[in-house]
Structure 1
Amino acid sequence: MDFHSLNKPIFDRATTLLIGVLGLAVVAVPMLNLWVSPTSVFHLETYTVSLLGKYLSYAILALSVDLVWGYLGILSLGHGAFFALGGYAMGMYLMRQIGDRGVYGNPELPDFMVFLNWQELPWFWQGFDMFWFACLMAIAIPGALAFVFGWLAFRSRVSGVYLSIMTQAMTFALMLAFFRNEMGFGGNNGLTDFKDLLGFSLQSDEVRVGLFVATVIALGMCFVICRAIVTSRLGSLTIAIRDAESRARFVGYAVEKSKLWIFVLSAAIAGIAGALYVPQVGIINPGEFSPLNSIEIVVWVALGGRATLYGAIVGAFLVNYAKSWFTVEFPEVWLFALGALFVLATLYLPKGVCGLLQKREATA
């Protein structure tokens, strides 16, 4: 089994095109929002900038799912949990920045803790007044959970639909736990009413644009990292595990360690997506743990195209744009439309939109 012969260049045409589009967005969006007059037809509203930033966060999340599903063959229905944990880590930092400007004016305790008669800040909130610590936890906590879960599951050789059910059960259990007020994360309402990020108002146009630019850069970096992995020897091994796990194990490769490494990295990327998502939407609550959210992520990847990386990004944008349109025009039919998208993609686009484009390009 010669994995070296399967290696591909990191910067192929699709990767170069994607990086080019992201680079153009970094330049064009700030210019159209901050420098073009609001009366101009070319002005880009701050709401649209935040919406694009939200889509980009979802694209990073979809990228993380494609890494484990498209290349490793693990259909994870729990990546919404890693996303939410990263979001809560950033939300805790933003709550600490409110200080005495909350409703109850307590400089130490968030409003929901004062309302629930908490007397002191819980130990697990310590350190979240520092931005670097919150960023570290947004990566480390999802990564640690993925490590523990993956070590137990892969060591027991759980795979297929059973592993998918286990990841979904993990997500559902976390959702129920975070809904409880005594957990110290805001219960049903979650964390919201954020005011500042690094001392700058979250309501200002400059900060909104800054968050957009940070999300674009994070997406580009995560994509390049994932692309470097899937075009390396490790990437070839993951494909071999996906297609013939027993054979790869028989040949002598450390299958469990490879699966665990990719799974942990994927969870960390999902945590980064959650940390970038929260300041742009202004809230994080237990609803983000909903198993339905994790299923929706799988639809993004399936529609865009598995095992392409850029297809996951395309799928995230397409589905979420459709969701935004449907929830405004026909809110009662969105879930039916989502189901129809998944069925149609499965029947007529087994390799997604990007797979269809690749096929047409090959036959042209």
Structure 2
Amino acid sequence: MTARMRGPALFTAVALLVLVVAPAVLDPFRLGLLAKYLCFAIAALGIGLAWGQGGMLTLGQGVFFGLGGYSMAMYLKLHDAGPGNLPDFMVWSGVERLPLLWKPFTSPVFAIAAAVVVPAAAAALLGLLVFRQRVRGAYFAILSQALAAAFTIWLVGQQGLTGGTNGLTHFYDVFGRDPETDGAKRIFYFVVAVVLGALYLLARQLMKSRFGRLLVAVRDGEDRVRFLGYNPATVKTVAFAVSAAMAGIAGALYVPVVGIISPSLLGVVPSIELVVAVAIGGRFSLAGAALGGVLLNWAHTTFSEQYPSGWVYLQGLMFILVIMVAPGGVAGAARWAAEAIGRRRTGRGPSSVPEPAGPTHGQKEVAAP
């Protein structure tokens, strides 16, 4: 099979596995868990675009995940309450009038649009403020992490507006369906799977475009790109905004799938776990990033079920082993194995040292796209 055909064939095989095999062999509960993993895979795909392809280590992706999730949850709570009524948690908190922030979310179209636009706009604003000052590397990572911490603290302190520590939960009607029924869970699963596939194809096409080549050039040599007459801040801001939009979509899908959105899902630790998932899957590969989102959360569930008192250590051990054995992640190891097999078939013999999963700084000259 030629290299040109290998990618579409692999994508088709994965699509059949996700859309045909998984729904046929998994019970509704496990299918719901897989839908949750795919939501995290969407967020990880965005991190793969920003970090793996653009070199921006973002440790605050939970903020954008939360903006999308709360946008969807606000509409669902208002829909459950009915016209003119307040959501249940506002009644318990003593709120007498619907806050102005909530009023637009009576429209499902507005809520869905906000789940995409608000995270992207927030990331674009942050990018314009930060990247123009040439903040990058560890400084950008710490800044994004601080943003996640501040956002979580704000959510917790707004009991009457956001539900506080408990967040928003107990959704009884999701677009005309009871989310607890098996049929609804299957529909939610298919929606999440299709959206993940569409976003992956979109991200892949973006990386094949002129913008994608320029983004990789910025990652490998930002100063060189600036000398060539391009503005790296603009390129990074666009990529960061697209990544945030993907996280917002993931959060919006997560709400009907799991039935809750709360500050505990959006803080520093969940954001770091997403980055760890991308590292496990392979940050230089979009498919690897998405795979890492599934693998880490599957391990989370499996280890916690089998070893309730020590699953965190097992999950950490898995991360350490992957980084030690395959620094490029699962995707990097698979790529090296495929190249080794190809060398054997052509008679050149296998290389004794694994090739890096992606280009390193200074490894190649940057050419103008």
Query: Equivalent of 2:43, from 61, 65, 71?
Result: 61
Q: In the TM superposition, what is the alpha-carbon distance from 1:341 to its structure 2 partner?
A: 2.7
Taking the aligned partners of 1:206 and 1:47, their CA distance within structure 2 comes to: 11
1:78 aligns with: 60
Query: Equivalent of 1:181, from 155, 158, 165?
Result: 158
**1:321 equivalent in alignment to 2:298:** yes
Give the residue type in structure 2 aligned to 1:203. Answer: E
Q: Deviations over 1:34-60 (max 9, x none)?
A: xxxxxxxx5x32111111110111111
Give the residue type in structure 2 aligned to 1:209. Answer: R
Paired residue secondary structure (1:200): coil
Taking the aligned partners of 2:222 and 2:276, their CA distance within structure 1 comes to: 25
Give the residue type in structure 2 aligned to 1:14. Answer: G
1:335 aligns with: 312
Q: In the TM superposition, what is the alpha-carbon distance from 1:337 to its structure 2 partner?
A: 2.5
Give the residue type in structure 1 aligned to 2:36. Answer: K
Taking the aligned partners of 1:199 and 1:308, their CA distance within structure 2 comes to: 38
Paired residue secondary structure (2:106): coil
Query: Equivalent of 1:362, from 336, 339, 348?
Result: 339
Give the residue type in structure 2 aligned to 1:57. Answer: C
**For the aligned residues, what is the CA RMSD?**
1.9
Taking the aligned partners of 2:314 and 2:17, their CA distance within structure 1 comes to: 32
Q: In the TM superposition, what is the alpha-carbon distance from 1:23 to its structure 2 partner?
A: 4.1
Equivalent runs, 1:1-364 vs 2, <5 Å: 13-30=6-23, 32=24, 42=25, 44-99=26-81, 108-182=85-159, 184-364=161-341
Q: In the TM superposition, what is the alpha-carbon distance from 1:63 to its structure 2 partner?
A: 0.3
Q: In the TM superposition, what is the alpha-carbon distance from 1:25 to its structure 2 partner?
A: 2.7
Give the residue type in structure 1 aligned to 2:39. Answer: S
Structure 2: tracts of 5 or more residues without a match: 342-369
> Per the alignment, do residues 167 and 258 of structure 1 end up closer, same or farther by CA in structure 2, a change over 3 Å counting?
same
Normalising to structure 2: TM-score of the pair? 0.88
Structure 1: tracts of 5 or more residues without a match: 1-9, 33-41, 101-105
Number of residue pairs matched by the alignment:
340
Q: In the TM superposition, what is the alpha-carbon distance from 1:233 to its structure 2 partner?
A: 1.3
Taking the aligned partners of 2:11 and 2:5, their CA distance within structure 1 comes to: 10
CA contact (8 A) 2:90 2:160 kept: no
Give the residue type in structure 2 aligned to 1:230. Answer: M
Paired residue secondary structure (1:342): helix
> Per the alignment, do residues 91 and 252 of structure 1 end up closer, same or farther by CA in structure 2, a change over 3 Å counting?
same
CA contact (8 A) 1:81 1:288 kept: no
Taking the aligned partners of 1:274 and 1:305, their CA distance within structure 2 comes to: 22
CA contact (8 A) 2:38 2:196 kept: yes
Q: In the TM superposition, what is the alpha-carbon distance from 1:148 to its structure 2 partner?
A: 1.2
Taking the aligned partners of 1:257 and 1:303, their CA distance within structure 2 comes to: 29
> Per the alignment, do residues 193 and 172 of structure 1 end up closer, same or farther by CA in structure 2, a change over 3 Å counting?
same
Give the residue type in structure 2 aligned to 1:13. Answer: R
Taking the aligned partners of 1:49 and 1:341, their CA distance within structure 2 comes to: 24
Q: In the TM superposition, what is the alpha-carbon distance from 1:344 to its structure 2 partner?
A: 2.5
Q: Deviations over 1:82-122 (max 9, x none)?
A: 1111111111111112126xxxxx95211111111111111
Give the residue type in structure 2 aligned to 1:162. Answer: Y
Paired residue secondary structure (1:331): coil
CA contact (8 A) 1:147 1:260 kept: yes
Normalising to structure 1: TM-score of the pair? 0.89
CA contact (8 A) 2:89 2:160 kept: no
2:355 aligns with: none
